[in-house]
Structure 1
Amino acid sequence: MRNLASGVAIVATGTETTRRGLTVSSVTSLCLDPPCVLVGVNSSSETHAAILANGRFGVSLLGRGQEDLALRFAGGAKGVERFATAPWEQGMLDVPLLEPAIGVLECVLHHHQPVGTHGLFIGRIVATRGGNGDPLVNFHGALRTLAQA
């Protein structure tokens, strides 16, 4: 699977001191009717439990120059401290969204399925915001950017 280039995103939920989030490279468009996205989250992470408790989450798509943020949310800091180094806003579903993301999705939890060490979250997309920039991808275990065509 190291040969499959994957987009890098931060999945987050909660408000103020209960914010939780993590870096993922397992975000997939699932269907258009209704619009849904599939996200894989390690079930031992605090974000997994927080998404189940809140019933909603945001997906912030990362771009060029956001490698440090991706690493911070991949394990550098913990809990709400992860959010300290970048500007965040609370979306219409009251989920954290990265202001300079190249795109964001706000999702209501539609379905959760445990599979091995992870939980698969299907989120029904209720709001989106586009942005600009070259996407950040994970390829061969390294963060890279792709130039827009």
Structure 2
Amino acid sequence: MGDQVASDERVPARHPATPAGTPLRDVLAEFATGVTVLTVAGERPHGMTANSVTSVSLDPPLVLCCVARTARMHDAIASTGRLGVSVLGRGQEQLARYFADKRRPEGAAQFDRVDWCPGPYTGAPLLSGALAWLECEVAETYEGGDHSIFLSRVLDATRRDRRLPGLVFFRSAFHRAVADQDALTRP
């Protein structure tokens, strides 16, 4: 009996509660992610909410972000080769929604309604009040289906107080990570 696994710990080939052919978006909604805003400077500054930012390597410091090739951010990153990443905190859901809204102004005007400062290495707008900021330079770009994967060298990394909770995206909704507990709560 010591070698047996409890039935709730087994991973069947097809879980009976999930029909085969479930859309990938629905399956990945079960994976909680942090929420960031990617930004670029240049002639047409741009920002975009993203949860597809991942640490790749500590030495050298590398991160990746995935951006749809049809998104304005795709061309902005490709043309500038540099970007900023603002990691949002629990009180910044409205900021995440703003940079996800396609109706917001284009270019520099989209930053008129938010508090930010230019990154010292990239000039990319770094959003005030975020939990952490990265400034990055694209090292490689890879095709990934309908997205491009931008592998970037971290030029600078800064964070605020570690006790502040982050904003999390889970099951297609924003949640607040609780800093002193292992739980998620709805805003």
- TM-score scaled by structure 2? 0.75
Q: 1:90 aligns with which of 94, 115, 118?
A: 118
Q: Match of 2:35?
A: 8
TM-fit CA distance, 1:21: 1.2
The structure that has the greater radius of gyration is: 2
Q: Which runs of 5+ in 2 are unaligned?
A: 1-27, 181-187
Q: Match of 1:115?
A: 144
Q: Match of 1:68?
A: 94
Aligned residues: 148
Query: The residue matched to 2:135 in structure 1 has which SS?
Result: strand
Deviations 1:69-95 (A, max 9, x none): 101111241423432222111112211
Q: Give the Cα–Cα distance (whole angstroms) in 2 for the partners of residues 88 and 18 of structure 1.
A: 16
Q: Match of 1:144?
A: 175
Query: The residue matched to 1:18 in structure 2 has which SS?
Result: coil
TM-fit CA distance, 1:131: 1.4
- Whether the 8 Å contact between 1:21 and 1:79 is mirrored in structure 2 is no
Query: The residue matched to 2:30 in structure 1 has which SS?
Result: coil
Identity value in percent: 35
Query: The residue matched to 1:85 in structure 2 has which SS?
Result: coil
Task: Answer 1 or 2: which has greater strand percent.
Answer: 1
TM-fit CA distance, 1:117: 1.4
- Whether the 8 Å contact between 1:72 and 1:82 is mirrored in structure 2 is no
Q: Which moves more between the two structures, 113-122 or 137-146?
A: 113-122
TM-fit CA distance, 1:128: 1.2
TM-fit CA distance, 1:12: 0.6
Q: Which runs of 5+ in 1 are unaligned?
A: none
